Structure 1
Amino acid sequence: MSSTMLVAGPKLAVALVLLTALAALVATVGRLGHGRQIAVAAVRAAVQLGAVSLLIAAIVASLWATAAFVALMCAVAAGTSGRRITAGAWGWWAAAPIVAGSLPVVAGLLLAGLVPVRGIAIIPVAGILIGGAMTATSLAGRRALDELTDRRGEVEAALALGFLPRDAVLLVCRDTAGQALIPALDQTRTVGLVTLPGAFVGVLLGGAGPLAAGVTQLFVLVGLLAVEAVAVVLTVELVACGRLRPAPSSRRTER
């Protein structure tokens, strides 16, 4: 085993428990409202990664199983974003920007031969892009709906001036929702100077050279920018068209 890899064992388990407890404690003491969610998220991550680790060998051996797993990733991402944005059946509209943003890019990469048609290559690439689309959709949707709630009077004023409903909503929420791209932009701008993201480290640990690792990471970052831009634009359009609506209460509860 490479000395650069984390070693599974009691020490790692204790470290994970302590880090989770620290994060939950700080969030609770700081009254951030996420103490319980941090603990639940950590436990879920451990269970889910354990299950995937056991199943991944069987999944990547079959393209059909790989396609089914990618579909499952999209469904889970859509459910997660939908619950973050709103309540009820309206939340499933979050599937549209996630799927439209990520899967065409994955398909294009496969058709161009940049990603091999193999499960072991498709799943991590699809996971990175779907995850980016999920994050962008959640942030854009929440920011847009919160802005509409806070600035409802401005929307009504625009309607009174003759704006169409879609245009009145976009006038108020589009710029704020666009801030969902800031994390991806900052990560891309500072890569190599502040952060060395997972793809870069993973390729290095896999035995490739620094140049190959850098090219891979650049590809991932630019792909994420494209995916998240599409996801944000479509999310804002769904809000403007009334497909994604505020929850019945004025503020959504965290999950």
Structure 2
Amino acid sequence: MNGASVTLGWGLAVALVVLVGIAVTVSLLGRFGISRALATASVRAVLQLAAVATIIVAVVRSWWLTVAFVLLMLGVASVTSARRMTRDRSGFLAAAAIGAGVLPVVALVLVSGAVPLTGIAVVPVAGIVIGGAMTATSLGGRRALDDLEAQRDQYEGALALGGHRRDAAMIVCRPAATQALVPPMDQTRTVGLVTLPGAFVGVLIGSGDPVQAAAAQVLVLIGLLAAETVAVAVVLELVARGRIVRTPGPRRV
């Protein structure tokens, strides 16, 4: 096996169990209240990736299956983001924000020829971009809804002064919601200096040369930045226009 690859075996299993244990233990000691969620997320990751590894070969050999798999990823991302923002059914409009960010990026990299029109190339690139857009939508939408609740007086004051609902909401929620773009901006600024991200390392492990690896990583990072910026802009509009709302009740963790 390639020396840069992860070695399958008991060592990997032990490392995973210990790492999950560290996360859960620290959560318990810190009274974060998410210990069960951390353990559940870890177990789901193992099971889901095992399932994907089993079916991915068949998926990437068929364009119809590739498209279906990408749509499945979009659906799961939309449901996950919706649950993060609100218990109300309006949260499922997260699909619009995620789709608005993902579709132009994936279409552009395929039409330009930057990514080959093959399932084995499309699935991972689409997955990375969908994951980034999902996270940005969740953070942006959740923070926007939080601020509208916390700063209700400021919002109503803007309305009293004759402001439109959308404009008044934007005044309140835009500053914090756009902070959802700080992580991708920092990742893009510091790539190669602080971290060697997955796309770069993946190409190197696959015996690609460093220039090819750098090109793949730049494409992924800029694509992510574009997709996440669009996703945040769309989810902000949906919240500001009252299309995504929050009903009373505890939020999911």
> Secondary structure, in 3 states, of the residue corresponding to 1:32?
coil
- Counterparts of residues 38-117 of structure 1 (less than 5 Å): 38-117=38-117
- Any runs of at least 4 consecutive aligned residues in structure 1 with deviations exceeding 6 A, and if so which? none
Using the alignment, how far apart are the partners of 2:7 and 2:117 within structure 1? 31
Post-superposition offset of 1:88: 3.0
Which string of whole-angstrom CA distances, capped at 9 and with x for unpartnered residues, describes residues 52-101 of structure 1? Answer: 00000000000000000000000000000000000131111100010110
Report the counterpart of residue 34 of structure 2 in structure 1.
34
**Structure 1 gaps, min length 5:** none
What does the per-residue CA deviation read over 1:110-167, in whole Å, with 9 as the maximum and x for residues that have no partner? 1121111110000000001000100000000111011111100000000000000110
Task: Choose 84-93 or 125-134, whichever is displaced more.
Answer: 84-93
- Per-residue Cα deviation, 1:149-195 (whole angstroms, up to 9, x for no partner): 11000000000000001100001001110000000001011111111
Residue 226 of structure 1: aligned partner: 226
Q: Percent identity?
A: 56
The alignment's C-alpha RMSD in Å is 0.9
CA distance in 2, matches of 1:69, 1:106: 14
Structure-1 residue corresponding to 2:184? 184
Could you say which residue in structure 2 is the equivalent of 1:172?
A: 172
Q: TM-score, normalised by structure 1?
A: 0.97
Flag structure 2 segments of 5+ consecutive residues without an equivalent: none
Q: What one-letter code is carried by the residue in structure 2 that aligns with 1:145?
A: L
Aligned to 1:125: 125
Structure 2 distance, partners of 1:63, 1:134, is: 24
Separation in 1, partners of 2:247, 2:84 = 10
Cα distance in 2, alignment partners of residues 98 and 32 from structure 1? 29
In 2, Cα distance between the equivalents of 1:138 and 1:56? Answer: 27
1:201 Cα deviation from its structure 2 partner: 0.2
Normalised TM-score (structure 2): 0.98
Deviation, structure 1 residue 4: 1.3
Post-superposition offset of 1:252 = 1.7
> 1:184, 1:36 → 2: CA distance?
28
Aligned pairs for 1:18-29 (under 5 A) are 18-29=18-29
Using the TM superposition, give the Cα deviation of residue 211 of structure 1 relative to its aligned residue in structure 2, in angstroms: 1.2
Which residue does 1:139 correspond to in 2?
139
For 1:163 and 1:20, how far apart are their aligned partners in 2?
A: 49
- CA–CA separation in structure 1 for the residues paired with 2:88 and 2:155: 24
CA distance in 2, matches of 1:207, 1:168: 54
Shift of 1:253: 3.1
Structure 1 letter corresponding to 2:83: R
User: Residue type matched to 1:133 in 2?
Assistant: A
Post-superposition offset of 1:247 = 3.0
SS of 2:5's equivalent in the other structure is coil
Where does 1:146-161 land on structure 2 (aligned, <5 Å)?
146-161=146-161
Q: Does 1:252 align with 2:248?
A: no
Aligned pairs, how many?
Answer: 253
CA–CA distance in 2 between the matches of 1:54 and 1:136?
A: 29
Taking the aligned partners of 1:157 and 1:30, their CA distance within structure 2 comes to 39
* Distance in 1 (alpha carbons) for counterparts of 2:247 and 2:89: 11
For residue 64 of structure 1, give the secondary structure of its aligned residue in structure 2.
Answer: helix
Quick one: which amino acid aligns to residue 10 of structure 2? P
